[in-house]
Chains A and B, each alone.
Chain A
Amino acid sequence: DAGVIQSPRHEVTEMGQEVTLRCKPISGHNSLFWYRQTMMRGLELLIYFNNNVPIDDSGMPEDRFSAKMPNASFSTLKIQPSEPRDSAVYFCASSPRTGGTSGKNEQFFGPGTRLTVL
């Protein structure tokens, strides 16, 4: 079975350029999460969707970041304009559950996009 698919795997761009990261969650999963990971700050949740609806975007750093989920099988994270401090690994994860207080809420991560902004 295919896991979470992310593209591109690596992106090198110059400051000021627009960057679009893509994610295809595991089929049938209801929730999708975008994370950013850096050495300094660890793994940070940026935004998450449930049934394609954004639930919490409080982790989005600023207006330069935006995310969409037009359908259950595709999501994008866009940075415009990009800055050197955006350099990080961006992970997309999906989960089969809509939460609740029982059972595990395992999240399945994609391989990540390593972004470098020069």
Chain B
Amino acid sequence: RKEVEQDPGPFNVPEGATVAFNCTYSNSASQSFFWYRQDCRKEPKLLMSVYSSGNEDGRFTAQLNRASQYISLLIRDSKLSDSATYLCVVTDRGSTLGRLYFGRGTQLTVWP
């Protein structure tokens, strides 16, 4: 079983739509959580960290449910520039050396 599972999509939404991605992780000891974004033929880049209380960064809201081992990312008022693959990422408590576990990614296309 993979450490991190994501719905691969693709999600195709019109501009202005709200879209949500989900992710589950297998290690209950996982400590830190992130969403990375990867544009086509580019490298992954950190989008935002995910905190236990949930957090928001502009149009992006991330939530964590430790009991269900579930992470979500909500994008409001989608823009064309949001088209990318979104990678769910976790670390584990035992990893003191910064190892990240990446999901396969969820592909999003925003159309005009």
Given contacts A109-B43, A110-B43, contact A98 B97 (CB under 8 A): yes
A55 to chain B, nearest CB (A): 5
Is A118 among interface residues, defined by CB-CB distance under 8 A?
no
In residues 51-104 of chain A, which contact B (Cβ within 8 Å)?
A: 55-56, 91, 95, 97-101, 104
CA–CA, A112 and B43, complex, Å: 7
User: Are A101 and B97 in contact (CB-based, < 8 A)?
Assistant: no
Given contacts A42-B105, A104-B34, contact A109 B45 (CB under 8 A): yes
Residues of B within 8 Å of A100, CB to CB, are 96
Residues of A within 8 Å of B93, CB to CB, are 101
Residues of B within 8 Å of A42, CB to CB, are 102-105
What total of A-B pairs shows CB separation below 8 Å? 61
Is A12 among interface residues, defined by CB-CB distance under 8 A?
no
CA–CA, A55 and B94, complex, Å: 13
Is B28 among interface residues, defined by CB-CB distance under 8 A?
no
Contact with A31, one of B31, B98, B104 (Cβ below 8 angstroms):
B98
Is A34 among interface residues, defined by CB-CB distance under 8 A?
no
B88 to chain A, nearest CB (A): 11
In residues 69-105 of chain B, which contact A (Cβ within 8 Å)?
A: 87, 91, 93, 95-105
Is A106 among interface residues, defined by CB-CB distance under 8 A?
yes
Is B9 among interface residues, defined by CB-CB distance under 8 A?
no
- Give the 5 A-B CB pairs with smallest separation, nearest first: A109-B43, A42-B104, A99-B98, A99-B96, A99-B97
Chain A residues proximal to chain B, CB less than 8 Å: 31, 33, 42-43, 45, 48, 50, 55-56, 91, 95, 97-101, 104-107, 109-112
Chain B residues proximal to chain A, CB less than 8 Å: 31-32, 34, 42-46, 49, 87, 91, 93, 95-105
| 21 contacts across the A-B interface (CB closer than 8 A) | A31-B97, A42-B103, A42-B105, A43-B44, A43-B102, A43-B104, A43-B105, A45-B99, A55-B97, A91-B43, A98-B97, A98-B98, A99-B97, A104-B34, A105-B32, A105-B98, A107-B46, A109-B43, A109-B45, A110-B43, A111-B43
